Chain A
Amino acid sequence: MKAPLSPERFESQAAEALNDTQLQDALQKATGLFAEKRGAAVDACEEWDSLREHARLIKEHTLLHLDEYLENFAAQAEASGVQVHWARDGEEACRVIEDIARNANATRLVKSKSMTTEEIHLNKALQVAEIDPVETDLGEWIIQLAGETPSHIIAPAIHKSKEQIADLFVEKLAIEPTTEVEELAATARKSLRRHFAEADLGVSGVNFAVAETGSILILENEGNARMTTTLPKIHIALMGVEKVIPRFADLAVFLRLLPRSGTGQKITTYQSILTGNPRPSDEEGPNQIHVVILDNGRTGMLAKAVTRQALNCIRCGACLNVCPVYQQVGGHAYGSVYPGPIGAVITPQLTGIEKTSRLPFASSLCGACRDACPVGIDIPELLLHLRAEIISRQSRLSARIAFRMWAWAMVKPWRYSLSTNLARAFPFLLPVGRWKVNRSFPGLAPNSFRKWWKDSS
């Protein structure tokens, strides 16, 4: 069995990904297409820049008043019959959800796509509690059947070819072999209908939670989230604290930004705006709605402006698609639930820097992510901030000595020329060993520029 993916092994996982030709094809095709569609949608939207700026301002404002808005949201939701739960960490959130299920004797659970449930490893916890979760988003369902983890925020099975998916369906569902994508999707429709019809409990994520009204919004294209939130008698929605926005009217900004950034659509096929428990006169819908508000490390990002901005993220996936590192290595190489540029900045903050210290270095700092981000997160700035923190903690003796020497050499011209002459005479002294693992080092010119200048003038 392969070792489980881990952020500590970014380099070796990346190397493996680079050698996987099938993965390379899949990644190139997918990220290219996503980026192209996003580009077209953004170009066609004249007001893009002002929308982005508005979104950033709304987020910044909300985060600075996060306690008030969360309390408003909870109060409004509770007033309309929703049960609101708070969870300090993932474990607590899992326990809350298990308890709701247990109290209702619910064992069959359907889920719509939610990265936050991935973050808290809800499926694993539920299985331990003998509750059987079934993913219903096509991509999520595929990776659940394959026993894998998502490799992209919005297209979880992006790393798989249709042939691999067909083989998986043949093996797990005993379908006739096919590579028609339509047929594969039809298989999902058919197989999952029963699960929807029989489920006691539906678990969803939340894209936006409106403080003013207590509403939650779920955006999707397939319709599985509508099923999940309508058919089972209990609906549980899990949201990070940062999902709250102040006013209902603010949705106009975010509903325009998220689909364009994510898939290049003007709007996703379905928006479910759910406000409170169904009325007695409503014949359909759950009779219990729970919202679980999750911290799990988020509040630790609030103190500094540079880290706080990561909480602006609306999980559109645009930064992944434009990132030259993600484009090459894919999502699994990061070994964390959230991959790509945004994963590299939030994973260390959510789960601690110790085991994730490689991630902020998995970037060329080209800035493509910052340019693509619909809520104005300066990801490179944040990467540098985290790098500095990691280096200052690790504080390797060799690095300290090297930088001391560097500082000594740089302040006086004679010291500088002494050290370059030394390096020229003894090139093996240059501390570039690791640099040369994946790159060639051109070496120093035989003569210095100063000497050349002197000689030629």
Chain B
Amino acid sequence: MAKLDLVMFEEEYNQLQEIIGRLQVDSSSKVVFLVDKNGQQIAAAGDVRSIDATSLASLTAGNVAATDGLAKLIGEKEFSLLFHEGEKDNLHISIVGKRGILVVIFDQSSSLALVRLRVKKASRELQEIFERVEYRAQDQGGENAKFESPFTEITDEDIDRLFGD
């Protein structure tokens, strides 16, 4: 069964948030996003309001998925890094663990070399947390069983309410 739910707890989330917050400051970048490979935003730091984060997450995931497809076509496992250079802003995209994507947006107040350096360090820290979350996702009867799913008694009314009737 491929349905491995990604469950993230408060503590892990706070750790992720802290790491990318530090990355944003240390790399003098504008915004840092942590996105799931399926296109869902996990955490963000910096001037988040300047960007449509949800679209960014989805397009980044699409971009990475397409690049992964290209890598496989030519016999590579994956390309670990994507870099897009714009007139003002640049986009640095890298893979963290098996399912994380780190997106850094920076302008001339930083540099590619600095961003690279800081991303490398942050990635290692992020990866540790990701591995824990991924491990739990695989270990279905394990730690996941320790907490109660909040969705034990969903009724038709719950679903009707979601659709506003």
The answer on A and B forming one complex is: no
